[in-house]
Amino acid sequence: MSCFPKTRLRRLRATASLRRLVRESHLRVDDLIYPVFVVEGEGQKQPVNAMPGIYRYSVDTLAEEMQTVMDLNIPGIIIFGVPGFKDARASQAYAEDGVVQRAIRAVKKAFPELLVITDVCLCAYTEHGHCGIVEQGKVVNDPSLELIAATALSHARAGADMVAPSDMMDGRVGAIRELLDENGFQDIPIMSYAAKYASAFYGPFRNAAGSSPQFGDRKTYQMDPANAGEALREVEQDLAEGADIVMVKPALAYLDIIRRVKDVFQVPVAAYNVSGEYSLVKAAARENLVDERAVVMEMLTGMKRAGADIILTYFAKEVARWLREER
Ligand code: PBG
């Protein structure tokens, strides 16, 4: 290998055109999924306090927001529901006329080409705020699977294009795959939140979705942030159970996990640029402490470089606009 002075790495950095030519990672609008919150009621567009620019829409006001997403050529959205009431068995999660089910129908009717993914979880629908069923103060795994699978099926029946289980119960991907297949939905893909960590970065989301656990925490089902090898086991299990796309979540503090997963498994990998990551940037930008556009583009490009094929981000609309301006 030659070295300085024959080699000068700065040569290929000299102009913008040269840099374009040798750039290794590319952030594209095609990579983006935009998360949306839907609430009960009419005419609602409720600002989410901790997330400037993010709102909770009722089914009727969602259409306008989706028009913007379409105009920006963002390929897909992921829907999170905020139900009218909660109970022990999360009945609104799989109700035929639940808020998510109605939102799916409305969006697919207005924009058939827009990819509609749904978050499949019970936490926003249970009175205790846990992602599964609680018995004697414990989140019990196997009894939760039936309800989680029923939720995924109800989304598919309403017209969802893809389901994304985020509950972290063992065996949920297999349970969902089986129930979907039995009901003729063998072509609906599953994007599993495979390596989902027990993270403090979900704080603003829980405020938006009203999904904070009312006792304890999620550490008995979400992963310990200190673990990496275990993430590979989670991904392996989900793929064995039939996952089509695997997700690493959060993204920023877990870029090494994205890279490891991408190196080991030849499947599409999604990264979730979560609510806390969004809020940190928004807060710092509001105080003029950072250049928002520059840091967001750098963060998301870093996720691509780490190996993410898909990025779920609350910045999707802004990023789509910035990418347009660059051209
Ligand atoms: C539901 C769910 C959560 C997120 C996505 N799905 C919250 C949690 O696990 O508590 C977090 C998304 C974000 O922070 O942006 N289980």
Query: Mean pLDDT over residues 81-85, rounded?
Result: 97
Query: At residue 105, does pLDDT exceed 90?
Result: yes
The residues spanned by each domain of the chain are: 27-326
Write down the mean pLDDT value for the chain: 97
pTM higher than 0.75: yes
Total count of residues recorded for the chain: 327
The pLDDT confidence band at residue 240, using thresholds 50, 70 and 90, is: very high
Residue nearest to atom 8 of ligand 1 (CA): 202
Mean pLDDT of 26-34: 98
Task: Kindly tell me the sign of the dihedral angle through the C-alpha atoms of 27, 29, 31, 32.
Answer: positive
User: Catalytic site residue 249?
Assistant: yes
CATH superfamily of 27-326: Aldolase class I (3.20.20.70)
Average pLDDT over residues 212-218: 94
Question: How large is the average pLDDT for residues 227-249?
Answer: 98
Q: How do residues 135-160 score in pLDDT, each as one tens digit?
A: 999 999 999 999 999 999 999 999 99
Tell me the average pLDDT across 225-248: 98
Rounded to an integer, the average pLDDT of 114-123 is 98
Percent of the chain surpassing pLDDT 90: 97
Given this model, what pLDDT does residue 87 score? 96
Q: What percent of the chain has pLDDT over 70?
A: 100
pLDDT value for 110? 97
Q: Which atom of ligand 1 is nearest to the CA of 275?
A: 15
Ligand 1 within 6 A of CB of 118: no
Give the nearest ligand 1 atom to 80 CA: 6
Q: Is the CB of 36 under 6 A from ligand 1?
A: no
Ligand 1 center from residue 270 Cα (angstroms):
15
- Res. 1: pLDDT tops 90: no
Average pLDDT, stretch 111-115? 98
Reply yes or no on whether the pLDDT at 116 is more than 90. Answer: yes
- Spacing, Cα 136 to ligand 1 middle (Å): 24
Is the beta carbon of 245 within 6 A of some atom in ligand 1? no
From 122, 168, 205, the mutation candidate for ligand 1 (largest count of ligand atoms within 8 A of CB) is: 205
Q: What average pLDDT does this structure show over 49-71?
A: 96
Ligand 1: which of 77, 120, 121 to mutate, judged by most atoms within 8 Å of the beta carbon? 121
Predicted confidence (pLDDT) at residue 327 exceeds the cutoff of 90: no
Best residue among 166, 169, 275 to mutate for probing ligand 1, ranked by most atoms within 8 Å of CB: 166
Place 206 in a pLDDT band, splitting at 50, 70 and 90.
very high
Q: Which of 109, 138, 219, 249 is catalytic?
A: 249
Work out the average pLDDT over 255-279: 98
Active-site residue, selected from the candidate residues 45, 109, 138, 196: 196
